[in-house]
Amino acid sequence: DTEVTQTPKHLVMGMTNKKSLKCEQHMGHRAMYWYKQKAKKPPELMFVYSYEKLSINESVPSRFSPECPNSSLLNLHLHALQPEDSALYLCASSQDNPTNEQYFGPGTRLTVT
Amino acid sequence: GENVEQHPSTLSVQEGDSAVIKCTYSDSASNYFPWYKQELGKRPQLIIDIRSNVGEKKDQRIAVTLNKTAKHFSLHITETQPEDSAVYFCAATADSSYKLIFGSGTRLLVRP
């Protein structure tokens, strides 16, 4: 299985809501990533987990809270988001470092109203 | 930190022609250079990658070249087909970093 799955596909939330994005892989990868992608822009790294430990936080606002419950799962908890946070949120995974291929999930299209 | 510049931002070619996309990077420690293709509404997918110990790599109609001295690498697509139309991103990273730095993207349109 060479696939990264993400749920939900689409999410609309108000600025006071709390929601979570989920990502799963069963390739035995030990590095997992959250990216944010705005239209016509490249993916922008948010967080990196290596061996279930947070290794990179790219100065992301605290309204985004990542969690890695186990080696196969990655969550992104959302709270009090702003309309400018509307974007495609991509999860990716790789063998233990990024000089191996990163496999991207299909993304969650998030709209904040 | 690493910075990757990509050109052109848009490229329109006739079906059957070749397309070339160029990237330059700034960090001499970078040693892995993947290329991703992203179709509209889809996930980025790796199409080819190259490591710093190799100067060129080919996979059917796609090839990548790397010039470490000049710090640039290029994607070459021959015999383009309409299904090659997409946005292409180059990227660079080093063993010491978990950060994959993307170029700004090239929108390729192959006209039938």
Q: Which of B37, B6, B8, B19 is nearest to B81 (CA)?
A: B19
pLDDT tens-digit series, residues B48-100: 999 988 899 999 999 999 999 999 999 999 999 999 999 999 999 987 778 89
Region A33-55: mean pLDDT is 95
Q: What is the pLDDT of residue B44?
A: 96
Q: What percent of chain A has pLDDT over 70?
A: 97
At B30, the amino acid letter reads S
Q: Give the HSE-up count for residue B31: Cα atoms under 13 Å, Cβ half-sphere.
A: 10
Distance from CA of B19 to the nearest CA of A (A): 20
| Confidence category of residue B47, pLDDT binned at 50, 70, 90 | very high
Q: What is the pLDDT of residue B98?
A: 80
Distance from CA of A79 to the nearest CA of B (A): 25
CB pairs A-B closer than 8 Å: 53
Q: What is the pLDDT of residue A2?
A: 66
- A interface with B, Cβ–Cβ below 8 Å: 31, 33, 40-43, 45, 48, 50, 55-56, 90, 97-99, 101-107
Residue B1 pLDDT > 90? no
Two structure tokens written together for A47: 């967080």
Picking from A48, A90, A105, the nearest residue to B98 by CB comes out as: A48
The three-state DSSP-derived secondary structure of chain B is: CCCEEEECCEEEEECCCCEEEEEEECCCCCCEEEEEEECCCCCCEEEEEEECCCCEEEECCEEEEEECCCCEEEEEECCCCHHHCEEEEEEEECCCCCCCEECCCEEEEEEC
**d(C-alpha A26, C-alpha A72), whole Å:** 6
- Measured from the Cβ of residue A113, the count of other Cβ atoms closer than 10 Å reads 10
Q: Which of B55, B87, B86 is nearest to B69 (CA)?
A: B55
| Confidence category of residue B16, pLDDT binned at 50, 70, 90 | very high
Mutate: best of B98, B104, B107, B108, partner A, most A CBs <10 A: B98
What is the full DSSP assignment across chain A? Answer: ---EEEE-SEEEE-TT-EEEEEEEE-S---EEEEEEE-TTS--EEEEEEETTEEEEE-S--TTEEEEEEETTEEEEEEES--GGG-EEEEEEEESSSTTSPPEEP--EEEEE-
Interface check for B7 against chain A (CB to CB < 8 A): the answer is no
The Cα-based distances of A8 to A4, A107, B111 in angstroms read 13, 8, 35
Picking from A43, A55, A101, the nearest residue to B46 by CB comes out as: A101
Q: Which of A45, A90, A94, A49 is nearest to A67 (CA)?
A: A49
